[in-house]
Amino acid sequence: MAELTLNAEKRSKLGGSTANQLRNQGRVPGIIYGQGEPSIAFHVKELDLRSLIYTHETHTVKLTLDGETLRCILREVQFHPVTDRVSHIDLIKILAGQKIKIDVPINLVGSPAGVKDGGVMDFVLHKLSIECLPDAIPEHIDVNVADLKIGHSIHVSDLPENPAYTITADSHAVIVTVAAPKTADETAPTAETVITEPEQIKAKGKKEEEEGA
């Protein structure tokens, strides 16, 4: 699994106003959560986070923080609701020999047989929750969909066991499914369900006349 290097600085002051000042300077505030250790507040260049956040692979992070090097994984990313820029990140410190829980991207392999027959594939679950040792974290988990037919689905429970990790996701969760294509009759509105606005007004006027009679 690939490892990314980030240079960060500790945050001596906390609070919303200080965090906003950092963001205006092109920095992103964050927190490192230690497993049984005190958390550490830091900030890092926003541009340096691109290769960590905008990727379909799982990475570990070698964080250089005031002369100290920490191994971490990304826990959560928060985005600004309007600009969609990264506003905050959470990291988890990795401890050697201690298992961690992490969400790993799912990679679909092959083209479903049902799609070739005219069906529509729906990729429902994009990440899989697993537990494993830090050095055994996979970049992604492959799911073969070549034999998936129309009306069939692949669930978490259908995935084979792997000695490197334990799947902690809901076993009943659907990963991918292929649905039958909608027909013209299914997509077109029926006369019974469509009521135009003039008809609604006409019906209301008739009711008022009856009540006034």
Structure confidence at residue 189 (pLDDT): 58
What pLDDT was estimated at residue 53?
A: 84
pLDDT surpasses 80 at 209: no
What are the pLDDT digits (tens) for 70-100? 999 888 899 988 988 899 999 989 888 888 8
Domain 102-187 has CATH 3.90.1200.10: no
Indicate the DSSP class of residue 181.
P
Report pLDDT for 165: 95
Backbone angles phi, psi at 41, to 5 degrees: -90, 135
CATH class name, domain 3-95: mainly beta
Residue 125 pLDDT class (50, 70, 90 cuts): very high
For residue 142, give the amino acid letter. D
**197: alpha, beta or left? (left if phi > 0; alpha if psi -120 to 50):** alpha
Where are the domain boundaries for CATH 2.40.240.10 in the chain?
3-95
Q: How far apart are CA 145 and CA 43, in angstroms?
A: 41
> Can you give the pLDDT at residue 201?
47
Domain with CATH 2.170.120.20 in the chain: 102-187
Using one digit for the tens of pLDDT, what is the confidence trace for 159-204? 999 999 999 999 999 999 999 987 766 555 555 555 555 545 454 5
- pLDDT for 194: 52
pLDDT tens digits for 31-53? 998 877 788 999 999 998 888 88
Q: What single DSSP character describes residue 47?
A: G
- Considering only CA atoms, which of 131, 200, 192, 203 is closest in space to residue 162? 131
Residue bearing tokens 């000695």? 163
What pTM was estimated for this model as a whole? 0.70
| Sign for the pseudo-dihedral over CA of 202, 208, 210, 213 | negative
